[in-house]
Amino acid sequence: MQMVARSLRLISVGFLFSLSLFCSKTPEELVQLGQTALTNEDPVGAMEYFKRSYEVSLPDEFYFFDRDENYESLTVSANGNILVAMQKNEVKRHSTLILYNINEDETWTKTISETVDNITLSPSGNYMAVSSFVKDGVCNISLWSITEREKIPFLAEVKCPDIPGISDSGRLFFVMEGKVGVYDIPTQKINREYLTKTPDPPVKEMPAWSQIQLSPDNVPFMTYGSAGVYKLYSLSGGELKLIFKGAATGKIFFRPSKRSFGVITGGADNHSIAFFNSNGDAVEKYPVRLWRDAAFTDNLKYYYVEGARVYSFENRKELELPFFASHVYITGSGDIAIFELPGKVYRFSGKMPEANTLEAFQLMADIKD
């Protein structure tokens, strides 16, 4: 026991020494230490030095949330004005939600005694639906009013892979026991007119999962499927109307100020984005480079994530941005929210960081490659 305690003290002292070494060095000195580590065939140590140099040299204006914190997920409302970052504490089994209102430049933090699986926002961010783990494959949905900053009395048990949607007027759309249900927050009742059976899976031998999303003008849509085979439906008026049956992912993409939405079609190296209007009519389609995630502006410019890198694409010109990422969003301010999983929430307004930051990023990228 004494030997274990002594070892722990040595590890603790070594960790504190390394931390103090990081904190006392300039970005340039950290790069030099990283280069030395590479010379000594220590790519892991080199990566730590380069990462620290990158984080120290990146100004505060490049972060949406606390630069010193790491986050498990990021959710952005369809209009791009509300951002919710989430942190988990697996030991205490609780989650902390940090909500940022871009228009008001206000932050609201709430810790809940739940292990969050998914967060859904209404198009303008008035309401939030939180899906939390209960047991294997089962989640509870709880509701929150963001405008009032309070929890709403409601609880529904659903399958975790099924993602609900919620409107700005307080209508929760969710799949439960093979039906699409709608709970109306103002009346606190299930809307019977909207109860409809879920469709057959696109591939009979495979299970299918639902993802319900509402457009910026609060029209409900649902993708249904799995493993790269999805169908797109409209839920307007309580009817399940098939719009498109060739979607490659379950995500629906919205553009900030256009009343149109899109889905990805095609396979590897042959993707396109197909946009539809609120009536479900096809309005636009063009090829895109996509592997993991994307965000579309109001014209042909878009951002996409591939291999944990972020790129912008416009007029057939591609530009790599100096961030590692898993997801990318366009916010209401026009800035790009870039989420690194698990990690930081970066903010890109079009201005590139200084040369020392770009150097540190490239050195990290070279190691990852």
Could you tell me which residues come within 8 angstroms of residue 21 by beta carbon, excluding any fewer than 6 positions away?
none
Q: How far apart are the first and last CA of the chain?
A: 43
Question: pLDDT digits over 12-57, tens only?
Answer: 333 334 445 556 789 999 999 999 999 999 999 999 999 999 999 9
Kindly compute the dihedral angle of the four CA atoms of residues 352, 357, 360, 365, in this order, to the nearest 10 degrees. -20
Question: pLDDT digits over 255-301, tens only?
Answer: 766 677 899 998 877 889 999 887 788 888 888 887 689 999 866 78
Nearest CA-CA partner of 153 in 162, 144, 161, 164: 144
Backbone angles phi and psi of 22, in degrees to 5? -60, -50
Q: What are the boundaries of each domain within the chain?
A: 2-54
Question: pLDDT digits over 126-179, tens only?
Answer: 999 999 999 888 999 999 999 999 999 988 889 999 999 999 999 999 998 888
- pLDDT at residue 250 above 60? yes
Mean pLDDT of 192-215: 85
Question: pLDDT digits over 75-116, tens only?
Answer: 999 989 999 999 988 777 899 999 999 999 999 999 998 889
Mean pLDDT of 352-365: 95
Nearest CA-CA partner of 143 in 124, 167, 161, 109: 167
- pLDDT at residue 7 above 60? no
Could you tell me which residues come within 8 angstroms of residue 111 by beta carbon, excluding any fewer than 6 positions away?
94, 95, 96, 97
Q: What pLDDT, on a 0 to 100 scale, did the predictor assign at position 353?
A: 95
The percent of residues in the chain predicted with pLDDT above 90, rounded, is: 60
* CA atoms within 13 A of residue 259's CA, in its CB half-sphere: 9
Question: What b/e string do you get for 76-92 counting C-beta neighbours within 10 Å, with b at 16 or more?
Answer: bbbbbbbbbbbbbeeee
